[in-house]
Amino acid sequence: MMRLRRSHLICCAASKEKMAAHLSYGRVNLNILREAARKELREFLDKCAGSKAIVWDEYLTGPFGLIAQYSLLKEHEVEKMFTLKNGRLPPADVKNIIFFVRPRLELMDIIADNITSEDRHHSSRDFHILFVPRRSMLCEQRLKEQGVLASFINIDEYILDLIPYDGDLLSMEYESAFRECYLENDQTSLYHTAKGLMTLQALYGTIPQIYGKGECARLVANMMLRMKREFAGSQNQILPVFDTLLLLDRNVDLLTPLATQLTYEGLIDEIYGISNGYVKLPPEKFAQKKQGEGSKDLPTEPKKLQLNSAEELYAEIRDKNFNAVGAALSKKAKIISAAFEERHNAKTVGEIKQFVSQLPHMQAARSSLANHTSIAELIKDITSFLALKSLKTTISINIHYYVVNHLSSHVSASEAFFDNLTVEQEFMTGVDTDKVNTYIEDCIAQKDPLIKILRLVCMQSVCNNGLKHKVMDYYKREILQTYGYEHILTLNNLEKAGLLKPQTGSRNNYPTIRKTLKLWMEDANEQNPNDISYVYSGYSPLSIRLTQILARPGWRSIEEVLKMLPGPHFEERQQLPSGLHKKRQQGENRTTLVFFLGGVTYAEIAALRFLSQVEDSGMEYVIATTKLINGTTWIKSLMDRPESPTQ
Amino acid sequence: LDQKWTSWCSVLQLPANFAQPEASSVKEKGTKKQVKLKESRQAVNNIRRLVEEDDDEDDVERVSWSGEPVGSISWSVKETAASSQRADREPAFPKISTDTPSISRSQSGYSLSSLFKGKPKVGNFQTFSDALTDSSVRLYAPELRKPKSEYKDYVSDWSPEETVQRLQQGKAVSLERFRTLQDKLLLLDHAIAAHDGNVITAVLIYLKRTLCKEVLFRELESRQTALRHFIHYLSETQNQRLLLELHRALGRAEDAALLQYKEHLSITDENKRRDFLKNCLSLPFSAEDLAHVQDHYTLLERQIIIEVTDRQAERGGKVEIFQKFPRKALILNMPLITTLYYCCFYHYAESEGTFSSPLNIRQTFKISEKQYFVTALAARAKLKAWLDVDALFASRNWLGFTRKKSPLSFQRVVDILQKNSAPTHVLQDYVALVDDGELRLTLAQKHKCHDIVISTYRDMKDRQLLLGYRGKVVRGSAEERKIDDLLSNPQIRWKN
């Protein structure tokens, strides 16, 4: 907690670019990485001398926003920016047109279209392409086929592997990584991961210890070790910042992302979707702002908010269970109103001056409080969490009674949420996972969104180590009949990824895993947590348990369970040049970088932050991932044609 | 007490029927929670006040309404794009004519990009990208093609490792020197070991061009990673034919079948799509997938027939239902259950012999009893055809004619009816059939089925609750009279 406060104070102090200050005050100064990325961007821009216009692959504006502001581009003569679309480029009197794009074939076709419609009118403009994060043969070939490759003065790549997302969080923002690795078996994302880790080591020193679990983890570690051998000539002379790297495959823990996250940040993501650190919210609750403007036109555009630890209040509440957020907000409200009351006590000029000097900070705090109160209200309308707490009592009293009688009328969103959660918790505790679930059946009958159905069915399959043939066939038929036969393709994908599978001869080992790793805690304390299970109100994310156990007492204690989970587990050491061995101060914490290959959820991050803060853990965590995910975005990435009109 | 509990429920925003658990501990917790809730409500209210009062000046952060910090990239994309429109009318920027030589030239002479400039430099050299597809090269730079003897000077004899490394670094390198099968495979294996999809693909493109299919397929079979990259490459470039051949050659018939089936998504003409699906039936699907694809085909075939007939009926203006409820969308390509709903809506009474008869659809596609029931119920309720609704339950019970039976819980039946705004007198019949007493009462209260509430209280002999309920019915209504009659009935032994 101390860390977060500090970050806030400095943030209020005059920092050159406000956005980035929060990166500097974590355990590891991630701003160094950001600076390196900015430097490279500047260098590229300077390569294209003269005035420029950038044509953006819209997807990239999000990740780039984490690296640079428009001001930086402007300093390097970027005068116009457009979104990439078909047809003629908008007029702009510039020397250079630069396309910032991902290496995707469909984007190449648009660029080709731009160029062919362009040539006739302006022949004096120079064209450049900047591929992010890598150039691709396929794309260049496509440009060639379209006959426009020769129009480019410059084709370059901007290696944006690991983007600093927050003070303790790095993301590659590589959305299709899981699909590519586990469905298409394309390991390009792993190569980028290894590259990114090499960059990281170049800046923060060689990481002496590498642990991993899963096929992809093994591959990444192999690539890193090989790359290190290839650079054998130049020894890295930086004192290592990270003590340990832990590589975890997402498919080691398929269960966690399927569960509904119950932390504040997790719920915001589940309900509204956080993308590149921003969330778009329904505007109504934010509407009654300024007086005088009148209420004539209520805004219809969604309200966009940035969410990161630069905001003191958000840093405090983001990782709390939602049930603890109300209390935290009201406590904060009292503090702030007391601070404003101070003005009446300010008598002397000095006191008034001091009060005034604090005013901007107080006003910022107040507006932040207003925003989060609104968000919390929005979420409460949907989750109705008070009901949730009673749910657990009910479960322990008589779950069957509840199930039979609670096929409720699905009138309000909060009831639907509540029912959904009940079923999730039944599955996670191993109740009736081998039968057709009536709730799922009902959801199909009332045509709930397909992704919701798939999440539940996959969860049942994972918790039962595969579904009985009869159960699986029944679900499949109901889904295809209700949502359309073309979803055969999606169902096949889920099977290939292991999320949905028929039961094989082997017995269901999920209960053993659950018991050994203590994945279900009966009385998770949501207000004052003493265990990571608070992030899912009872369920402790498997991935984080593995991390926790690795730190203490070590994986040797759970060899049996590790063997039940897919993929190998391993340990590697990287030699440090003598003299770089850290002399640890007594009581100094060790730092582990946990890399989630295939995505991580906000709730898992919250659990790791919780572990960092536990007094006697002796370990601090920095988190890296290919992409921040939740069950919905994850399943969606595995679907064929997700925007089917039938949903 | 029950009433109290339900009212708590509403305060707590619990689902109304949450009231059932008999365990008193739940109720106790409920009380505590109620207190807590009040507190947090107060807190929230306080916050609101605090936030809204003296809203002097809160422009601490400069954000546009949509919340993007002014100056962020995505904000600026919109802004600068908008201003360019203005630039059209206003005097344009002073034309910048920079004659600075392009800096990219200073890069390593072997970079791909330097090759692709408009004016190729003197002393060109063969690059590997040239080696990928020789035909297209001619399109833009015929000068790049030089006699072999000439480019030999420029191409060092890179080993497979070095070649892969250079490819990874984006440097030019020729693959042509890998001539024998053994060399080519060695190169491929090194590329695979590098795990860089870009490099693997580049090598595969070269192999595809220089090896015959049979050999390539055979070698890929023992190199799963490369195989998957090759499949990815073929599907990205939409080389369906080769892809299918590949799958077949490798005995991955089911994958091939699914892949071909996927094609139907890009066919917009419904007749062509139907014919395509028909052709798919001969593909080697797994047994269960084949059954689904067969159903898919049958469904579309039917939809086309129904669509034609109904369009005519609608245009003819003689069929009442189409006049009263004009169709909002085509039925083509809709899921099966949607089609069933449509048929229950427009073609309910048809005999089993027609394509559009709900019963026929049910049989053909083996729709589960529950699904059929829910769909028919919803469709008839939407039309307010309460007799049909009634019959749905009765027809299931042709021997004994009095009792209504349903494959759904009556609670869900009530839910569906209520969603389709059924009037109280209809709802009442079904609320009465809910088995669980407490649930029935809750539903009756929710849907204002006064008779049920009143008689339940009477049966409970609960005078207090009945008295309380008197305040909830309309003054002077039949219900009020009924309550009054009961309250004054000396034969009832009230328990309170």
Size of interface A-B (CB pairs under 8 A): 342
At A4 the pLDDT is 36
Contact A620, A241 (CB under 8 A): no
At B47 the pLDDT is 45
Mean pLDDT over B278-287 rounds to 92
What tokens appear for B368 in the block? 């589960």
Partner-chain contact B21 A184, CB within 8 Å: no
At B169 the pLDDT is 73
Of all residues in chain B, the one with the smallest CA distance to A73 is B73
- Give me the residue from B20, B50, B195 closest to A187, CB to CB: B195
User: Using CA atoms, how far apart are residues B358 and B349, in angstroms rounded to an integer?
Assistant: 8
At B399 the pLDDT is 63
At A232 the pLDDT is 66
Mean pLDDT over B289-298 rounds to 96
- Does the structure show a pLDDT above 70 at B44? no
Burial of B459: CB neighbours in 10 Å, binned 0-12, 13-18, 19+? exposed
Cis status, amide bond into A133, omega within 30 of 0 = yes
At A411 the pLDDT is 42
Residues in chain B within 8 Å Cβ distance of A157: 170
For an interface test with A, give the residue of B8, B97, B113 to mutate (most A CBs within 10 A). B113
Portion 556-615 of A in contact with B at CB < 8 A: none
Partner-chain contact A136 B198, CB within 8 Å: yes
What tokens appear for A535 in the block? 């992030």
Model pLDDT for residues B110-122, shown as the tens digit of each residue: 333 323 333 333 3
Between A371 and B165, the more confident residue is A371
Model pLDDT for residues B441-461, shown as the tens digit of each residue: 888 888 888 888 998 888 888
Give every strand in the sheet of A78-83, ordered side by side. Answer: A78-83, A52-56, A96-101, A126-131, A152-157
Across the 647 residues of chain A, what is the mean pLDDT of every consecutive 10-residue run? 35 42 80 91 91 92 87 92 90 90 89 82 80 84 88 89 92 91 83 92 94 96 89 76 96 97 96 92 73 56 89 94 92 90 83 87 91 92 57 34 33 77 94 93 91 97 95 96 96 95 86 95 89 95 97 93 95 86 73 97 97 87 96 94 44
ipTM surpasses 0.85: no
Of all residues in chain B, the one with the smallest CA distance to A156 is B113
For an interface test with B, give the residue of A477, A491, A500, A643 to mutate (most B CBs within 10 A). A477
Portion 452-471 of A in contact with B at CB < 8 A: none
Residues in chain A within 8 Å Cβ distance of B73: 56, 61, 64-65, 68-70, 73, 81
**What pTM value is reported for the model?**
0.79
Model pLDDT for residues B460-483, shown as the tens digit of each residue: 888 888 888 888 888 888 888 888
- Give me the residue from A147, A397, A486 closest to B21, CB to CB: A397
**Nearest C-alpha neighbor of A126 from the set A158, A108, A152, A100:** A152
Contact B242, B234 (CB under 8 A): yes
- Give me the residue from B46, B81, B409 closest to A81, CB to CB: B81
Pairing mode, strands A278-281 and A274-275: antiparallel
Q: B386 vs chain A: nearest CA distance in angstroms?
A: 20
- Does the structure show a pLDDT above 90 at B124? no
Residues in chain B within 8 Å Cβ distance of A416: none
Residue that is written with structure tokens 């066919």 in the block:
B267
Mean pLDDT over B45-63 rounds to 44
At A233 the pLDDT is 63
At B438 the pLDDT is 85
Model pLDDT for residues B171-223, shown as the tens digit of each residue: 777 888 899 999 999 999 999 888 777 888 889 989 998 999 999 999 998 89
Partner-chain contact A50 B96, CB within 8 Å: yes
CB neighbours of A348 closer than 8 A, spacing ≥ 6? none
Contact A152, B162 (CB under 8 A): no
For an interface test with A, give the residue of B5, B64, B76 to mutate (most A CBs within 10 A). B76
Backbone angles phi, psi at A330, to 5 degrees: -75, -30
Give every strand in the sheet of A169-171, ordered side by side. Answer: A163-166, A169-171, A619-625, A590-597, A244-249, A209-213, A569-573
User: Using CA atoms, how far apart are residues B28 and B14, in angstroms rounded to an integer?
Assistant: 15
At B395 the pLDDT is 54
Residues in chain B within 8 Å Cβ distance of A394: 21, 26
- Give me the residue from B140, B224, B296 closest to A144, CB to CB: B140
- Asked which of A378-392, A464-478, B243-257, B319-333 is least confident by mean pLDDT, the reply is A378-392
The reply to whether A75 touches chain B by the CB within 8 Å rule is: no
User: Using CA atoms, how far apart are residues B141 and B120, in angstroms rounded to an integer?
Assistant: 8
Tell me how crowded residue B27 is: count the other CB atoms within 10 A of its CB.
16
Residues in chain B within 8 Å Cβ distance of A447: 337
Contact A459, A427 (CB under 8 A): yes
Partner-chain contact B335 A484, CB within 8 Å: yes
Residue that is written with structure tokens 């007198």 in the block:
B425
At B2 the pLDDT is 40
Backbone angles phi, psi at B467, to 5 degrees: -60, -45
- Does the structure show a pLDDT above 70 at B94? no
What tokens appear for B419 in the block? 């969603």
Of all residues in chain A, the one with the smallest CA distance to B231 is A184
Model pLDDT for residues A31-78, shown as the tens digit of each residue: 999 999 999 999 999 988 899 999 999 889 888 888 888 889 999 999
Scanning B281-423, the segments in alpha helix (DSSP H) are 287-316, 320-324, 336-346, 358-364, 369-382, 386-394, 410-419
- Give me the residue from B15, B71, B288 closest to A473, CB to CB: B288
Contact A281, A375 (CB under 8 A): yes
Q: A116 vs chain B: nearest CA distance in angstroms?
A: 14
Portion 270-289 of A in contact with B at CB < 8 A: 278, 280, 288-289
- What's the mean pLDDT when you consider all of chain B? 73
State which amino acid sits at residue B369: E
Pairing mode, strands A590-597 and A244-249: parallel
Partner-chain contact B338 A188, CB within 8 Å: no
- For residue B79, what pLDDT band results from cuts at 50, 70 and 90? low
Residues in chain B within 8 Å Cβ distance of A327: 40, 43
Between the alpha carbon of residue B36 and those of residues A14, A326, A337, A386, the distances in Å are: 41, 11, 21, 10
User: Using CA atoms, how far apart are residues B25 and A123, in angstroms rounded to an integer?
Assistant: 80
User: How far from the centroid of its chain's Cα atoms is residue B377's Cα?
Assistant: 25
